[in-house]
Amino acid sequence: MLVAFSVAPSGTGRADGSVHDAVAAAVRIVRASGLPHRTTSMFTEIEGEWDEVMDVVKRATDAVLAYGSRASLVLKADIRPGFTGELDAKIDRLGAALADEDDAAR
């Protein structure tokens, strides 16, 4: 399965509203998991089996909770049994489709 998630604290007491330290704590958990992952400006994507992915999301959320009085978690999952390597394969298929479209337009 692929999971895209974003977790952030609130009630941090920081005047600037920044959550980068908390997000860094969550990303450290993801990186240490050994699962395929990608972090962008808004989400972290992770790939693996249901139990292992959800365990990482829970531990990342727990890490963020240390930075505030509560946490907000946004999660989107693509559950496709029997498929692996989709973290990159989906992007590769998109790139190929766009290249085909560009070739057809020429």
Mean pLDDT over 69-79 rounds to 95
pLDDT band at 18 (very low <50, low <70, confident <90, very high): confident
Question: Are the CB atoms for 77 and 29 separated by under 8 Å?
Answer: no
* pLDDT given at position 105: 80
pTM attached to this predicted model = 0.87
How do residues 4-17 score in pLDDT, each as one tens digit? 999 999 877 767 76
* pLDDT given at position 17: 66
Half-sphere exposure of 47 (CA within 13 A, CB side): 14
| DSSP codes of every residue in 8-67 | EEE----TT---HHHHHHHHHHHHHH-S-EEE-SS-EEEES-HHHHHHHHHHHHHHHHTT
Residue 72 pLDDT more than 90? yes
**Domains of the chain from N-terminus onward:** 2-105 (3.30.70.930)
